A and B are shown apart, each in its own frame.
Chain A
Amino acid sequence: MGVTVVQNFPITENRTGPSTIELLTKRISALGAIQQGHFLVDCETYTSVPQLGNPRTVHILHNSEQPATVFSILETENKTIPLATDGLFDLLMIKMANFYTSKKQTKAESKGPRYEIGDFLVKLGTVTVSQNFKGVLVEVEYRPCVVPAMCWELMREFLQGFLGSTAQSAPPLYLQNRMQDIYSPIDTIHQYLEQFTIYRKAPGLRT
């Protein structure tokens, strides 16, 4: 597991979602990337019923890169508690349906092709929120390195090489406070949640 950066790729007005993915596919293939299957990251959000007191939100996420793990992030007023559990946690959530209800309209997912290029892993995700297309998320992972501060410059160079001027010059907000820590899969999940939250709030396509 290496350092991962998730960022939105803006869709210009004269393009559709599939054509944007196609454009990025062409670019990454030209650099010598080889497709290695597909990927899927999904997120479902549950909120606590009023009887439980202070409102709490639980986000349940799955990542096909860690297929046997269920990630959950519990948000209370002043704390965020991440949790990585095995697959049975999904069943537990069904049992708790009386306390935590899911908002069906908010199921977000990002899926698409997965490419390997050198030691990099590139995923081009089509984001849908409750079946509506919302935008394109690009995930880039540099697998040999585990400390974001060490390889951020290198990753930025890679991102710029393939996304052009739309690549961000600063690390994702979530990573900025954790640049010196050792990267773990839950950090990717946090980044996805951050992005999904923005997509959900956006009324139409995110540009």
Chain B
Amino acid sequence: MERDLDQLYTALNAIKVLRSNVGSVFETVSNGLRADHGEEGKENKFMLELQDVLTTVNNNLRDVETAAANLTPPPGPFNLGNTAYLSQETTQERQALYGQLVNSYKWTDKIREYSTLAGNILATNSFNKTYKTFSTTKRRKTQTSNHNVPPEVIENLITGIDRLFPDVTINATRPFVPNPVIQASLGRVLKAIIAFKGLMIEWVIVKAHSESSDLWTESRYKVFRKVTENCHAAMCHFYSPTMPDLAVRSFMHWFHSYNTLFSCSCKRCGNHLHSNLPPTWRDLRTLEPYHEECK
């Protein structure tokens, strides 16, 4: 296929050269005698020039013939499918459709090729946002939805967490029935107001015990504002759509490590203070305290 195309291109090129040289023959003939042929023997000079040009044309014609002989004729008529009917089109402006058709065919062909490549590359590092598989061969158990769960499930989860950590006391209010807002007091250190959306943690805000427990105003203290920020990061980190209850549990486990907010020094630099803040970051896995700048 590739070789055929090459030969076709050489043949076409040879024809192009032949045509241009034939053009120059006619140009020479039509110009006739020119001033640069001089006075003496001008006819002879003209004849010689014409002969030269004709020889070139002759050579080119031989090239074309050899190139054409190398070509393999197509086995049969091309099957154009439905596009053959385009030839029966009579209106002038629609006769150009064939070119566009070929272009779009090439384009879709390329898309197919690229998407297969992309598919292969993406399959090697699979990262699925949704854990739903669309295969029909395996029947899976129905996925638990984390947006729409019965209130009892959330209630159980919260009481479970309440029992898990003795120094975390939890008060739950339910401004909207399935979505509780809990106030988790961590010892005498701080309190967090956590809003749920189903089984997902939707919003966290950390404050001092003396501050109001509304969900919208930030803490007055820089340290709790920083902790709030870090809680948001952790909330996103622990988020897991398949096991929402585990996500909440691991978040609470991580959050529980803040009971040493003021008393622990940074694991990296060994100091308590860095830019007048205690270590406000807790490592997500080891729960070790770090300063924002040291982590």
CA distance A144 to B280 in the complex (A): 13
Contacts of A144 in B (CB 8 A): 190, 208, 221, 223-224, 262
The minimal Cβ–Cβ distance linking A102 to chain B, given in whole angstroms, is: 35
Asked whether, in the complex, the Cβ of B277 is within 8 Å of the Cβ of A153, the reply is no
Tell me whether B278 is interfacial, beta carbon within 8 Å: yes
Contacts of A145 in B (CB 8 A): 189, 262
CA distance A145 to B264 in the complex (A): 13
In the complex with contacts A118-B222, A144-B223, A153-B263, A1-B188 CB distance below 8 A = no
Contacts A/B (CB < 8 Å), 23 sampled: A31-B276, A117-B276, A118-B223, A118-B276, A119-B222, A119-B276, A120-B276, A143-B221, A144-B221, A144-B224, A145-B189, A145-B262, A147-B188, A149-B263, A150-B189, A150-B263, A151-B262, A151-B263, A151-B278, A153-B263, A153-B265, A154-B272, A157-B272
CA distance A1 to B209 in the complex (A): 11
The minimal Cβ–Cβ distance linking A171 to chain B, given in whole angstroms, is: 14
Contacts of B95 in A (CB 8 A): none
Tell me whether A161 is interfacial, beta carbon within 8 Å: yes
Tell me whether A84 is interfacial, beta carbon within 8 Å: no
Residue of B nearest to A149 (CB): B263
A139-171 interface bits toward B, Cβ cutoff 8 Å, 1 = contact, 0 = none? 000111111011101100110010000000000
Tell me whether B275 is interfacial, beta carbon within 8 Å: yes
Residue of B nearest to A181 (CB): B188
Tell me whether B294 is interfacial, beta carbon within 8 Å: no
19 new A-B pairs (CB below 8 Å) besides A119-B276, A153-B265?
Answer: A31-B276, A32-B276, A117-B276, A119-B223, A142-B262, A143-B221, A144-B208, A144-B221, A146-B208, A146-B210, A150-B189, A151-B278, A153-B263, A154-B262, A154-B272, A157-B272, A158-B272, A158-B273, A158-B276
CA distance A146 to B262 in the complex (A): 10
The minimal Cβ–Cβ distance linking A164 to chain B, given in whole angstroms, is: 15
Tell me whether B58 is interfacial, beta carbon within 8 Å: no
CA distance A143 to B210 in the complex (A): 11
Contacts of A118 in B (CB 8 A): 222-223, 275-277
The minimal Cβ–Cβ distance linking A120 to chain B, given in whole angstroms, is: 6
Tell me whether A182 is interfacial, beta carbon within 8 Å: yes
Asked whether, in the complex, the Cβ of A154 is within 8 Å of the Cβ of B273, the reply is yes
In the complex with contacts A146-B188, A182-B188, A153-B272 CB distance below 8 A = yes
The minimal Cβ–Cβ distance linking A58 to chain B, given in whole angstroms, is: 30
The minimal Cβ–Cβ distance linking A121 to chain B, given in whole angstroms, is: 11
Contacts of A146 in B (CB 8 A): 188, 208-210
Residue of B nearest to A146 (CB): B188
The minimal Cβ–Cβ distance linking B113 to chain A, given in whole angstroms, is: 59
Within 8 A of B (CB), among A108-126: 117-120
Chain B contact residues, majority secondary structure: loop
CA distance A79 to B224 in the complex (A): 39
Residue of A nearest to B221 (CB): A144
Tell me whether B70 is interfacial, beta carbon within 8 Å: no
Asked whether, in the complex, the Cβ of B273 is within 8 Å of the Cβ of A161, the reply is yes
A86-119 interface bits toward B, Cβ cutoff 8 Å, 1 = contact, 0 = none? 0000000000000000000000000000000111
The minimal Cβ–Cβ distance linking A33 to chain B, given in whole angstroms, is: 9
CA distance A31 to B272 in the complex (A): 16
CA distance A150 to B272 in the complex (A): 12
Task: Identify which of A1, A31, A142, A161 contacts B210 (C-beta below 8 A).
Answer: A1
Asked whether, in the complex, the Cβ of A154 is within 8 Å of the Cβ of B276, the reply is no
User: Which residue of A117, A119, A120, A146 has the most chain B CB atoms within 10 A of its CB atom?
Assistant: A119
Asked whether, in the complex, the Cβ of A157 is within 8 Å of the Cβ of B271, the reply is yes
CA distance A155 to B189 in the complex (A): 15
User: Which residue of A31, A118, A143, A154 has the most chain B CB atoms within 10 A of its CB atom?
Assistant: A154
Contacts of A1 in B (CB 8 A): 210
The minimal Cβ–Cβ distance linking B153 to chain A, given in whole angstroms, is: 35
Contacts of B277 in A (CB 8 A): 118-119
CA distance A150 to B271 in the complex (A): 15
Residue of A nearest to B259 (CB): A150
User: Which residue of A1, A118, A144, A145 has the most chain B CB atoms within 10 A of its CB atom?
Assistant: A144
Contacts of B271 in A (CB 8 A): 157
B266-295 interface bits toward A, Cβ cutoff 8 Å, 1 = contact, 0 = none? 000001110111100000000000000000
CA distance A16 to B272 in the complex (A): 33
Residue of A nearest to B220 (CB): A143
CA distance A118 to B223 in the complex (A): 8
The minimal Cβ–Cβ distance linking B207 to chain A, given in whole angstroms, is: 9
Contacts of A119 in B (CB 8 A): 221-223, 276-277
